[in-house]
Copies of this chain bind each other. A is one copy, B any other.
Amino acid sequence: MTSAREIKDTLYQQVARVGKALSSPKRLELVELLCQGEMHVEQLATEAGISLKLASAHLKELRLAQLVALRRDGRRVFYSLVDDQVADLWVALRACAENRLLELRSALGEVVSHPHELSPLNGKSLLNQARRGELTVIDVRPANEYAQAHLPYARSMPLAELKQRLDELPPDRPVVAYCRGPFCLLAKDAVTLLAQAGVNATRLEDGVAEWRARGLPLAQ
């Protein structure tokens, strides 16, 4: 004999498990990292700026909420999102927060300090211009993230190597740099570096998760 109230309580409790998994800043950062592809615990801990132990504990929470899955390879444990719906949820949650929290907007202002550095293009026209070779799209994330999924026509130029590889960029052609998404600082730094080298560079705010959530295609 299960009462209506008990059934309802169970239903909302279960959904709240997912909400709870998304209620900690560090877990959100881990989810965003996993939107870039699978990573092992040490990578995740380093990128998120937390201890390995804490990363492991947060990943366990995400695993209990069935948002991530793990795969063992030798002595490494690789985590990944269970599917793209989780990435879409992250993008939706971020967008919702962005659209209503003033504190978030002003903090984001520090990431995108120079509006003219932002690529004014929408996805489709960027795609077209890139295909025609009218501009160069570079992916400034670490190479292993590029290898797992990247924007069409984008070439991998990790921020760490960018300075040494400037000569690989086709001359006299605008460059659009992207990274992990709106919260990531890699593309911002890339644009600054390129501008100092005299390259006409802008940043695309989207990462692969945002790109896919818009229904646009990705390459591997």
Where the two chains meet, the residues of A that have a C-beta atom closer than 8 Å to any C-beta of B are 2, 4-5, 7-20, 22-26, 28-29, 49, 65-67, 82, 85-86, 88-89, 92-97, 99-101, 103-104, 107-108, 110-111, 183, 185
Q: Provide the residues of chain B in CB contact with A103, threshold 8 Å.
A: 10, 14
In angstroms, Cα B22 to Cα A11, docked, is: 14
In angstroms, Cα B11 to Cα A188, docked, is: 15
Q: Provide the residues of chain B in CB contact with A26, threshold 8 Å.
A: 12
Secondary structure dominating the interface of A: helix
Q: How many identical chains are in the complex?
A: 2
Partner of A110, one of B2, B19, B93, B94: B2
State how many angstroms separate the Cβ of A99 from the closest Cβ of chain B: 6
Q: Provide the residues of chain B in CB contact with A25, threshold 8 Å.
A: 9, 12-13, 15-16
Taking a contact as CB atoms under 8 Å apart, the answer to whether B99 and A15 are in contact is no
Q: Provide the residues of chain B in CB contact with A15, threshold 8 Å.
A: 25, 28, 93-94, 97, 104
In angstroms, Cα B171 to Cα A173, docked, is: 71
Taking a contact as CB atoms under 8 Å apart, the answer to whether A7 and B96 are in contact is no
Taking a contact as CB atoms under 8 Å apart, the answer to whether A12 and B183 are in contact is yes
Give 14 new A-B contacts, CB below 8 A, not counting A11-B108, A15-B94, A82-B100: A2-B110, A8-B49, A8-B185, A12-B25, A12-B26, A12-B29, A15-B28, A19-B22, A19-B28, A19-B93, A22-B23, A66-B100, A89-B96, A92-B92
In angstroms, Cα B105 to Cα A15, docked, is: 11
State how many angstroms separate the Cβ of A191 from the closest Cβ of chain B: 15
Q: Provide the residues of chain B in CB contact with A17, threshold 8 Å.
A: 97, 101
Which of A24, A94, A97: most chain B CB closer than 10 A? Answer: A97
In angstroms, Cα B143 to Cα A95, docked, is: 33
Taking a contact as CB atoms under 8 Å apart, the answer to whether A11 and B104 are in contact is yes
Specify the chain B residue showing the minimal Cβ separation from A28.
Answer: B12
A–B complex contacts, Cβ < 8 Å, 24 sampled: A5-B49, A8-B183, A8-B185, A9-B25, A10-B103, A10-B104, A11-B107, A11-B108, A12-B28, A12-B183, A14-B97, A15-B97, A15-B104, A16-B24, A17-B97, A17-B101, A18-B96, A19-B19, A19-B22, A19-B28, A20-B23, A65-B101, A89-B92, A89-B96
